[in-house]
């Protein structure tokens, strides 16, 4: 089966590409490499076709999506902080880009579009865990762009019969997640700092909680969403499946794995961040037959092992 992955050179997208190739699918990647990296596709280089282009470019979309049965729309400008710095560009890529993907998918005869949404759409509502029937309450332009894009998916399903699935990711982490950006996520930032013997910086008191989802578990949900008959027209949470973890506890877990004996330092809380986040994954479990399998400690150990393996390969 032919599949297209937009943003396929990114962190989650490249893991998705590997999984699809393992299952024997023909895969085309559309990526402009503004944040994605070619080294993420190194293991798949001779088995995947790469179209370099922007998701807002119809010619690039026509090239990448031609003949694809399923489109996995992973491409986005992520991070709340980035959207505060440049709300116009983030909204244009995330919302206009999603509309462009939906139009191309409809016109080129794709069966289904699986969209990478975000738990940020829930905002800072105090009710936990977050359930898909809750009203959205975005606190940043990034969150607003994802919430609006979800509405377009629902509209295309209702108006044109295009099968669409939106998956709300909760704090995905794992190998290939870069710490080399001012918008980097907390797990790679902590891992990088402690591995180098530096104290990680916690924004705020560290008691804020997150629902961490290991990338292989997230990708498993994405792949299942491509074919699950009861998923079309749905919005589904994809989280870690356990209890929420405080940022202080995350720092402790990473320190144990890398052998760091220092203490974190605290900085000011970041604008736009929510206080607590925890996914109710009941709907994804029932609609996709999916369940997360990886504990946070195990996932962090896999990051350590992947980095060690990469270091061994670079020395040989």
pLDDT at 272: 77
Q: Cα separations (Å) of 154 from 73, 150, 190?
A: 15, 6, 37
pLDDT higher than 90, residue 26:
yes
* Residue 301 is assigned to a structural domain of this protein: no
pTM above 0.85, yes or no: yes
* Residue 45 is assigned to a structural domain of this protein: yes
* Residue 208 is assigned to a structural domain of this protein: no
Angle at alpha carbon of residue 77, lines to 41 and 137, rounded to 5°: 135
pLDDT higher than 70, residue 313:
no
* Residue-wise pLDDT tens digits, 284-296: 999 999 999 999 9
CATH number, position 134: 3.40.50.720
Q: Are 118 and 139 in contact (CB under 8 A)?
A: no
Quote the crossing angle between the two packed helices 186-195 and 296-315, to the nearest 10°.
60
* Residue-wise pLDDT tens digits, 34-49: 999 999 999 888 999 9
Per annotation, catalytic residue among 122, 142, 169, 173? 142
Active site residue 173: no
Provide DSSP, 4-15. Answer: EEETTTSHHHHH
In this structure, the chain runs to a length of 316
* Residue-wise pLDDT tens digits, 205-254: 999 999 999 999 999 999 999 999 999 999 999 999 888 999 999 999 99
To the nearest 10°, the Cα dihedral for 304, 309, 310, 314? 140
* Residue-wise pLDDT tens digits, 102-126: 999 999 999 999 999 999 999 988 8
* Residue 192 is assigned to a structural domain of this protein: no
* Residue 273 is assigned to a structural domain of this protein: no
* Residue 138 is assigned to a structural domain of this protein: yes
In terms of pLDDT, which residue wins out, 313 or 85?
85
154 CB-near residues (< 8 Å, 6+ apart): 164, 166, 233, 235
pLDDT higher than 60, residue 312:
no
At 316, is the pLDDT very low, low, confident or very high (cuts 50, 70, 90)? Answer: very low
Q: Are 276 and 128 in contact (CB under 8 A)?
A: yes
pLDDT at 270: 85
* Residue 112 is assigned to a structural domain of this protein: yes
b/e sequence 271-307, b meaning 16+ C-beta within 10 Å: ebbbebbbbbbebbbebbebebebebeebbbbbbeee
Counting the structural domains of the chain, the total is 1
State both tokens at 11: 């962190």
* Residue-wise pLDDT tens digits, 59-74: 999 999 999 999 999 9
**Helix then strand then coil, % of the chain, to nearest 5:** 45, 20, 40
* Residue 268 is assigned to a structural domain of this protein: no
What range does the domain containing 74 cover? 2-170+215-239+279-292
State both tokens at 28: 């085309």
């Amino acid at each position: 089966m032919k599949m297209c992955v937009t943003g396929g050179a990114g962190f989650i997208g490249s893991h998705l590409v590997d999984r699809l190739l393992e299952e024997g699918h023909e895969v085309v990647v559309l990526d402009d490499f503004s944040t994605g990296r070619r080294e993420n596709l190194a293991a798949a280089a001779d088995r995947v076709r790469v179209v370099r282009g922007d998701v807002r470019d119809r010619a690039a979309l026509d090239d990448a999506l031609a003949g694809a049965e399923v489109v996995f729309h992973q491409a986005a400008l992520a991070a709340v902080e980035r959207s505060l710095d440049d709300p116009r560009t983030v909204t244009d890529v995330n919302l206009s880009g999603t509309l462009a993907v939906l139009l191309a998918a409809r016109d080129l005869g794709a069966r289904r579009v699986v969209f990478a949404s975000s738990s940020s759409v829930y905002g800072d509502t105090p009710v936990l865990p977050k359930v898909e029937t809750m009203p959205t309450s975005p606190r940043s332009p990034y969150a607003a762009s994802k919430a609006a894009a979800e509405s377009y998916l629902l509209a295309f399903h209702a108006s044109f019969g295009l099968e669409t699935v939106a998956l709300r990711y909760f704090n995905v982490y794992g190998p290939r997640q870069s710490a080399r950006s001012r918008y980097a996520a907390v797990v790679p930032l902590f891992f990088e700092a402690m591995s180098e013997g530096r104290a990680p910086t916690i924004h705020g008191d560290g008691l804020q909680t997150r629902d961490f989802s290991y990338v292989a578990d997230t990708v498993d949900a994405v792949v299942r969403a491509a074919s699950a008959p009861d998923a079309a027209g749905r919005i589904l949470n994809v989280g870690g499946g356990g209890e929420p973890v405080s940022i202080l506890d995350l720092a402790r877990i990473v320190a144990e794995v890398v052998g760091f004996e220092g203490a974190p330092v605290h900085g000011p809380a970041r604008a736009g961040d929510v206080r607590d986040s925890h996914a109710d994954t009941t709907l994804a479990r029932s609609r996709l037959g999916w369940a997360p399998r990886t504990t946070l400690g195990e996932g962090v150990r896999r990051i350590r092992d992947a980095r060690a393996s990469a270091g061994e390969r670079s020395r040989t």
